[in-house]
């Protein structure tokens, strides 16, 4: 039996080319530079690019900030975050900027974790109470990728409200809560605020002047809901 061979031509495989965008990044002196970047660029990539373009010494403190002037807030964009995803959350008519500047506390949580868990604000479980000291407890939490319960009082207000009120807050792995009855942690008294997998935490800029806060040491939890609606919750530390 004879078989006629036939040449089969496969379609050419076109290499995937990422679309590029032009973004503007501001320096500490408010000068800016526009650069063309791929859509998958991260905050760390931007920092490395500007370290090279500005001839800076890379001491690992260079940081990309998201600055929202119309809300009076800003935050550090984490190294792994997609810059395009950050930009996609901006409104067309808002004064929002990316800033490239130093943040010497960028990795302090990893270098000095105990500074972020004061003794009087960490709840000890009955299983560990008396068995290990505070330092050992926090190290155990960090090594096991769990989260200790942090609690304390904050002044807080929701977006659109003018008055600040003092509440007892509880931070757990499942999210941030406040108690509507003193310092009670009973489930029926805890009101859910935010779960941080879909939220960002910002620093308040001029908290007293812009937001009428009791102190200037404030933060904002920006919760992105379905259909990109946003809730803002403001809090300030008692200092």
Do domains 20-102 and 149-239 share one topology? The answer is: no
pLDDT of residue 132: 66
pTM value is 0.81
Q: What share of the chain is helix, strand, coil (3-state, %, to 5)?
A: 20, 35, 45
Domain 20-102 falls under CATH 3.40.630.30? no
Locus of tokens 């960090």:
142
Domain boundaries, the chain: 20-102, 111-148, 149-239
Cα distance between residue 6 and residue 22, in whole Å: 49
Q: Which residues contact 79 (CB under 8 A, 6 or more apart)?
A: 42, 43, 44, 47
Over 80: is that where the pLDDT of 136 sits? no
Q: Quick check: helix, strand or coil at residue 98? A: strand
How does pLDDT run across 78-125, given as a tens digit for each residue? 999 999 999 998 877 778 999 999 999 999 988 888 888 888 888 765
Quick one: pLDDT band at residue 145, thresholds 50, 70, 90? low
CA distance readout (Å), 45 to 23, 40, 42, 121: 13, 10, 5, 36
pLDDT of residue 65: 98
What is the third-level CATH fold of 149-239?
Answer: PH-domain like (2.30.29)
149 versus 24: the higher-pLDDT residue is 24
DSSP 8-class letter at 71: T
pLDDT of residue 125: 55
Instruction: Quickly list H helices, the chain.
Output: 43-53, 83-88, 108-111, 134-143, 207-211
pLDDT of residue 223: 81
């Amino acid at each position: 039996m004879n078989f006629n061979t036939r040449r089969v031509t496969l379609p050419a495989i076109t290499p995937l080319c990422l679309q590029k965008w032009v973004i503007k990044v501001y320096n500490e002196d408010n000068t800016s530079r526009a650069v063309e970047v791929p859509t998958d660029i991260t905050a760390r990539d931007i920092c490395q690019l500007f370290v090279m373009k500005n001839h800076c010494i890379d001491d690992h403190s260079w940081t990309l900030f998201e600055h929202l002037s119309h809300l009076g807030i800003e935050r550090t964009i984490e190294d792994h975050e997609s810059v395009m995803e950050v930009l996609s959350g901006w409104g067309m008519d808002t004064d929002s900027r990316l800033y490239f500047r130093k943040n010497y506390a960028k990795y302090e949580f990893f270098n000095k974790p105990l500074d972020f868990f004061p003794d009087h604000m960490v709840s000890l479980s009955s299983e560990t109470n008396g068995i290990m000291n505070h330092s050992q407890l926090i190290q155990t939490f960090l090594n096991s990728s769990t989260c200790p319960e942090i609690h304390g009082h904050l002044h807080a207000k929701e977006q659109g409200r003018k008055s600040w009120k003092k509440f007892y807050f509880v931070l757990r792995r499942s999210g941030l809560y406040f108690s509507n009855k003193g310092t009670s942690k009973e489930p029926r008294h805890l009101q859910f605020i935010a779960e941080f997998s879909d939220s960002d935490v910002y620093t308040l800029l001029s908290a007293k002047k812009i937001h009428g806060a009791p102190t200037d040491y404030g933060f904002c939890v920006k919760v992105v809901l379905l259909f990109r609606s946003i809730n803002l919750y403001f809090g300030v530390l008692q200092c």
